[in-house]
Structure 1
Amino acid sequence: MTNPILADWQTPFDIAPFDRIADSDFAPALEVALAEHRAEIAAIADSPEAPTFANVIEALEAAGGALDRVLGVFFTVAGADSNPAREELQRAFSPQLAAHFSEISANKALFARVAAVWEARADLELSDEQQRVLMLTHRGFVRAGAALSGEAEARMKEIKARLAVLGTEFTQNLLADERDWFMDLSEDDLEGLPDFVTAAARAAGQEKEAAGPVVTLSRSLIVPFLQFSPRRDLRERAYRAWVARGANGGKTDNRAIATETLTLRQERAALLGYDSFAAYKLETEMARSPDRVRDLLMQVWAPARARAEADAEVLTAMMQEDGINGPLEPWDWHYYAARRRKAEHDLDEAALKPYLQLDRMIEASFACANRLFGLEFRPLDIALYHPDCRAWEVTRDGRHVAVFIGDYFARGSKRSGAWCSAMRAQAKFPRTQAPVVINVCNFAKGDPALLSYDDARTLFHEFGHALHQMLSDVTYESVSGTSVARDFVELPSQLYEHWLEVPEVLAEFATHAETGAPMPAEMLEKVLGAANFDQGFQTVEYVASALVDLAFHDGPAPSDPMAKQAEVLAELGMPHAIGMRHATPHFAHVFAGDGYSSGYYSYMWSEVMDADAFAAFEEAGGAFDPDRAEALERHILSTGGSRDAEDLYLAFRGRLPGVEALLKGRGLIAA
């Protein structure tokens, strides 16, 4: 029988036929796709024709179609709906894929042809996008080690293969710790918790087949539990489990993996002639150097730490009023901060949450995209990889633009966090293809599903990434959508969060789950007034993680990453009651792959721009100013990586922003 992954997909919009794909189909499909790709690469490398942009660079762009299809389907389900079979496949595929791509980057004949086209670029009359693709292709080969030979070349292959294995192990260990731990709650333990938390705990207990309600390590459950449970002993137990992910000893412990990963990254950078992995990694980003990253982070650290320390004094006083002596602990912060917000802003999360229905927030994100970019969303009834998933056709002026898939609920088979990916990216070469884009989140189930305000921001954030993919309008897939500098990729997503805070958006879509009534004007005013509440805490936990990531990679690899983490935090004067947002053993951004290694700072680098970019709307005709929306699409959302990121922002705004916009946006300095 024909493998359903490789067969023609007779499905709407050429969506993967998930209902016909079995786990046993993946390995044989990958074997065929790899063989096909090897043959395509050999034909390019061994061609007797003189190298040209068409027969080298465009040929590379066109190669690997079957492999893209297989991996697009597999990694979608491996991340969002894993099982033991898929985890085993992922462990097998990781070194196999690393070896395959190392083989391509080490192909001397192929690199010679790429280099020949690069050397002749001035005489080729290429378009701006073609020049960009040529530069990126040549640079990618060089940075992958194509110019290495002998022992250095062989060692580079070994390093890449081992790093792929380590990244997969790190991810699967973290998923196992998150999936396996839960804390049983008695009916007495539920006392003081809002209805939405007890409902989520009962639903989680059913999923875990427990005797009653439970707290799991899903962020959408454990954070509200820490906010509302008056039981300090239970908060401590839950918090300690949360921060111990990946550091519990045994086969799922990630500390040795982190050590080996950092050592291999440093060796990889040295083989390529760089002083540190951070210098290697940041060379292609907007920041360019570790010093510029550190400068930005430290400009933010000082005012954020000062705010957090002042807040800690207030929370400590509140705790002592409850008769609890001793220092404020990390498992106390969320609880007393929530009480303080209610007292100072008269804003109660339990009262707010019924106004933030998941379905209504999805509608809000779509409505903003319609007003800004003319996009329309029609529900689709198609087979997807999990019953929780839903899909929409995206159109503009009656023309098909994309398929958008939303997978919103937490479950044991899904890794934590939220992300956006494209099962198929937009391109016009070698054929025109519309994108298939997925947003994956981890919200607590409910009937109806209710979001926290942070959850709602996450939904808008990931949909901003989706818009970057859906509105892409380039020729070559390698520069499509979110294929941009890591410290630029978060600009569209963080910018889109601002539309959640537009008063008219909340006034229309924040409606009560039971009564349907719109959010009262005074509550809306309180929500917006409290938008910067607890920014000292949030900024400190983030910047600490970013500085630890940078310290890991800017210099010799630490022999003991946990000791290095402690050293960095001590030098910073990390407040006692605040932990890193991502401690080393569960820092998946940095250790699950190379994506954000030396690059966790990029959220803040992008935030410097997103605060300034939204100000451009406010300075014009308001949040939905059509001229600014058109400029945003033309210069940023549609261009992908076809131009340098700094040039794109300059084209949109006319200048680069300073850190002041970020500090004002977070309320860390006076507006």
Structure 2
Amino acid sequence: MSTNPVLVQSNLPHDLPDFASISDDDFLPAFEEAMSAHLAEIDEIASNTDEPTFVNTIEALEGSGRALARAAGIFFNLVGPDTNPTRNEISQKLATSLSEHSTAIALNAALFARIDALHSQRESLGLDEPQKRLLEKRYRDAVRSGAALDEQGKDTMRAIAGRLAVLETTFSQRVLDDSNASAVFVDSADKLDGMSRSAIDAARRAAADAGHDSGYSVALELPTSQSALTVLTDADTRAAVFEASVARCGRGNEFDTSEIVREIVSLRARRAELLGYSSHAEFVLADQTAPSVGAVRELLGDLTRAAMRAGTAELARIEKFAGEQIGAADYTYWLERERAESATVDLAPFADYCELDTVLTDGVFYAAGQLYGLRFVERDDLHGYHPDVRVFEVFDEDDTSIGLYLGDYFARPSKRGGAWMNNIVDQSSMLSQTPIVVNVLNIPKPDEGQPALLTFDQITTLFHEFGHTLHGLLSDVRYESQSGTSVPRDFVEFPSQVNEMWALDPDVLAHYARHHETGEPIPDALAAAARASVGTETAHGTIEYLGAALLDLAWHEVSSAQAEAVGDLDEFERSALEAAGIADDLIPPRYKTRYFNHIFGGGYSAGYYGYIWSEVLDAETEQWFTAHGGLLRENGRVFADSTLSRGDSVDPVAAHEKMVGHPRDVMPLLRRRGLASDSAGTDAPDSSE
């Protein structure tokens, strides 16, 4: 029984950590204690003199390392949304120690011998599907970590894993530091004309927090294309924001990531080659739902050709509308102006009907209640890791408490950009664990007493991330490693993209869209115009996404020798985009190499294509929901039973195909994006994580 507050059971509902009792000084000792205990458990399993069985080996492994899982669930949930210099330093130390720890387990020869023996007789063990999948995953993960290599190969794998852990952590920290340092300062509110009152107030507070006696500071978001560019009327301010965005982590910058990228790419390629793969991309896709790199490139290539044709027409139309030649900083501004001009109803007042709390409780939670029978009760007596974090207890339709949901919605300098879902605790019936799920967004925080009014994109992001939350909350599996979002990376975005369809659903919108001052419901004409507006997406959005996905593949299809020979990163990027037929000076990739945190600091390496790959299933599922009556409890029950509750305990694609009644079909996606012969227009993928 540990006395470290990180590891002590909290006695709070669903074992919510008592964050107030934990200091940063507690983390390293907690991890050291937890790793030591875990290795002792592993040694006991590996040295068991009994013949290996599924229970004494695979299930024993599944039940080991509980203290380490608790420490990791708490600490790594803090580093993303609320870091500080001490936590950054701890992250660097843990990058090495945790890599060494996991590698030591993966390369434990006695343990692998037991797993290998079970795997060789897997068809005769009488296992059910979740057990078969768990055994297969344990074996595959060990082999992919180098367990089947000779001792020299194992030593090389250890060194690569440790170095990559440090590099990826450093990359992520540099991107956050440079995004904060590159905020654009202006001396007058006039230069922010077009931004909402709350966004201007946030810029004023940011300038004050940065030590300025006056003026305004426009914080940068993670993607290249900044949302501020769609509204800023001052061309010079737009240019300054755009240039700050694309210059992040560049040459000569103290946060330059060039050498980190080169080394990461080289090490990943070297690891793949040791394991018999031609590239890191091939290594990654061997563990995904996509059948091959070629199949992914074929889909991306088809979409690219259609999107570039649409982009040519879109640019001509926008420049005609603007009456001038436009630059990269102006593209989305004029797209938004054209959209507003062509709307039959002025869409500017829409945000006045979309205050965060009502969108959350009467929109997001309402849809979850209608579909899945869930009820959310805010617990003011429970506290998160930051004062802005709200805690909700979640009940099913039998009034059983099934978990906790933590919402962390407002931007702050200690939070990395973007939006995401994280689990502090994963569901597992074997371990008697119920889920604790966190959603993190970066909505500008309004002044005290002022409403947080949401844009179209922010509402979509809120629903998107909550789709991940539903995947975690509704999980009903035996084994923790198969819980919720523990599915292949190119499937994980599917449930979250499906949940976006309810953001502007007529029933859901009517339930939450009320004027923040008067309480009046949104006018029918404005609601209809909003739905029509978001249904007409842009070639710009599709091209910037495809550029990033293709750039990701380009970096991860090189050999280790080619990676070591890469000179200028910008030149490699230009050449890769030109080769893919998507180079466009007006539309840079959603993430340029130097700040592409998804692939160099996160878990999406050679996997950023997964958003569009998942969207094939999402488009089919939206079509299925619509055909079966939409927002109905029975539809939610079917989707939960087939997908949300199953995690990785079943083949997720096979379960989807069984639900919709046919094999995976790309046509609904092509129609949605206006790329089929019987449709027009182009849609763009969601930018949320």
Tell me the alpha carbon deviations over residues 468-506 of structure 1, each in whole angstroms, 9 at most, x when there is no partner.
010011100011111111111111000000011211211
- Give the equivalent residue in structure 2 for 1:282: 285
Q: Which runs of 5+ in 2 are unaligned?
A: 680-689
Q: 2:592 aligns with which of 560, 583, 599?
A: 583
- Letter of the structure 2 residue corresponding to residue 137 of structure 1: R
- Letter of the structure 2 residue corresponding to residue 343 of structure 1: E
Alpha-carbon distance in 2 for matches of 1:265, 1:233: 41
TM-score, scaled relative to structure 2: 0.93
Tell me the alpha carbon deviations over residues 105-157 of structure 1, each in whole angstroms, 9 at most, x when there is no partner.
11100000111111222232222211111111111111111001222110110
1:615 aligns with 2:615: no
- Give the equivalent residue in structure 2 for 1:187: 189
Q: 2:275 aligns with which of 262, 272, 275?
A: 272
- Give the equivalent residue in structure 1 for 2:646: 639
- The structural deviation recorded for 1:331 is 0.3
* Secondary structure class of the residue paired with 2:508: helix
| CA RMSD in angstroms, aligned pairs only | 1.7
- Letter of the structure 2 residue corresponding to residue 199 of structure 1: D
Alpha-carbon distance in 1 for matches of 2:586, 2:241: 15
- Give the equivalent residue in structure 2 for 1:356: 354
Alpha-carbon distance in 1 for matches of 2:16, 2:620: 38
* Secondary structure class of the residue paired with 2:171: helix
How has the CA–CA distance of structure 1 residues 187 and 624 changed in structure 2, closer, same or farther, with 3 Å as cutoff? closer
- Give the equivalent residue in structure 1 for 2:608: 600
Alpha-carbon distance in 2 for matches of 1:228, 1:220: 16
Is the deviation greater in 65-74 or in 202-211?
202-211
Alpha-carbon distance in 2 for matches of 1:520, 1:214: 35
- The structural deviation recorded for 1:349 is 5.5
1:15 aligns with 2:16: yes
How has the CA–CA distance of structure 1 residues 112 and 174 changed in structure 2, closer, same or farther, with 3 Å as cutoff? same
How has the CA–CA distance of structure 1 residues 22 and 179 changed in structure 2, closer, same or farther, with 3 Å as cutoff? same
* Secondary structure class of the residue paired with 1:126: coil
Q: Are the aligned partners of 2:184 and 2:244 in contact in 1 as well (CA < 8 Å)?
A: no
- Give the equivalent residue in structure 2 for 1:157: 158
Number of matched pairs: 663
* Secondary structure class of the residue paired with 1:273: coil
Alpha-carbon distance in 2 for matches of 1:124, 1:150: 31
How has the CA–CA distance of structure 1 residues 189 and 290 changed in structure 2, closer, same or farther, with 3 Å as cutoff? same
- The structural deviation recorded for 1:346 is 4.4
1:568 aligns with 2:579: no
How has the CA–CA distance of structure 1 residues 136 and 224 changed in structure 2, closer, same or farther, with 3 Å as cutoff? closer
- Give the equivalent residue in structure 1 for 2:504: 501
Q: 2:338 aligns with which of 307, 316, 340?
A: 340
Correspondence 1:300-339 to 2 at 5 A? 300-319=303-322, 321=323, 324=324, 327-339=325-337
- Give the equivalent residue in structure 1 for 2:445: 445
- Letter of the structure 2 residue corresponding to residue 635 of structure 1: S
How has the CA–CA distance of structure 1 residues 473 and 194 changed in structure 2, closer, same or farther, with 3 Å as cutoff? closer
- Letter of the structure 1 residue corresponding to residue 48 of structure 2: S
Q: Are the aligned partners of 1:532 and 1:666 in contact in 2 as well (CA < 8 Å)?
A: no
- The structural deviation recorded for 1:661 is 1.1
- Give the equivalent residue in structure 2 for 1:77: 78
Tell me the alpha carbon deviations over residues 303-330 of structure 1, each in whole angstroms, 9 at most, x when there is no partner.
21122221111222233x3xx5xx4211
- The structural deviation recorded for 1:192 is 4.4
Alpha-carbon distance in 2 for matches of 1:95, 1:313: 52
- Letter of the structure 2 residue corresponding to residue 212 of structure 1: G
- Give the equivalent residue in structure 1 for 2:686: none
- The structural deviation recorded for 1:194 is 3.9
Alpha-carbon distance in 2 for matches of 1:349, 1:217: 25
Q: Are the aligned partners of 1:290 and 1:554 in contact in 2 as well (CA < 8 Å)?
A: no
Alpha-carbon distance in 2 for matches of 1:224, 1:290: 32
How has the CA–CA distance of structure 1 residues 125 and 193 changed in structure 2, closer, same or farther, with 3 Å as cutoff? closer
Is the deviation greater in 6-15 or in 110-119?
6-15
* Secondary structure class of the residue paired with 1:392: strand
Q: Are the aligned partners of 1:393 and 1:402 in contact in 2 as well (CA < 8 Å)?
A: yes
How has the CA–CA distance of structure 1 residues 206 and 450 changed in structure 2, closer, same or farther, with 3 Å as cutoff? farther
Is the deviation greater in 217-226 or in 228-237?
217-226
> How much identity, in percent, do the aligned residues show?
38
Correspondence 1:221-300 to 2 at 5 A? 223-247=226-250, 249-300=252-303
- Give the equivalent residue in structure 2 for 1:522: 525
* Secondary structure class of the residue paired with 2:72: helix
1:470 aligns with 2:473: yes
* Secondary structure class of the residue paired with 1:408: strand
- Give the equivalent residue in structure 1 for 2:31: 30
- Letter of the structure 2 residue corresponding to residue 154 of structure 1: D
Q: Which runs of 5+ in 1 are unaligned?
A: none
Correspondence 1:211-222 to 2 at 5 A? 211-218=214-221
* Secondary structure class of the residue paired with 1:264: helix
- The structural deviation recorded for 1:195 is 2.8
Q: Are the aligned partners of 2:192 and 2:233 in contact in 1 as well (CA < 8 Å)?
A: no
How has the CA–CA distance of structure 1 residues 506 and 207 changed in structure 2, closer, same or farther, with 3 Å as cutoff? farther
Q: Are the aligned partners of 1:219 and 1:442 in contact in 2 as well (CA < 8 Å)?
A: no
- Letter of the structure 2 residue corresponding to residue 26 of structure 1: F
TM-score, scaled relative to structure 1: 0.96
1:204 aligns with 2:206: yes
How has the CA–CA distance of structure 1 residues 206 and 28 changed in structure 2, closer, same or farther, with 3 Å as cutoff? same
Q: Are the aligned partners of 2:179 and 2:220 in contact in 1 as well (CA < 8 Å)?
A: yes
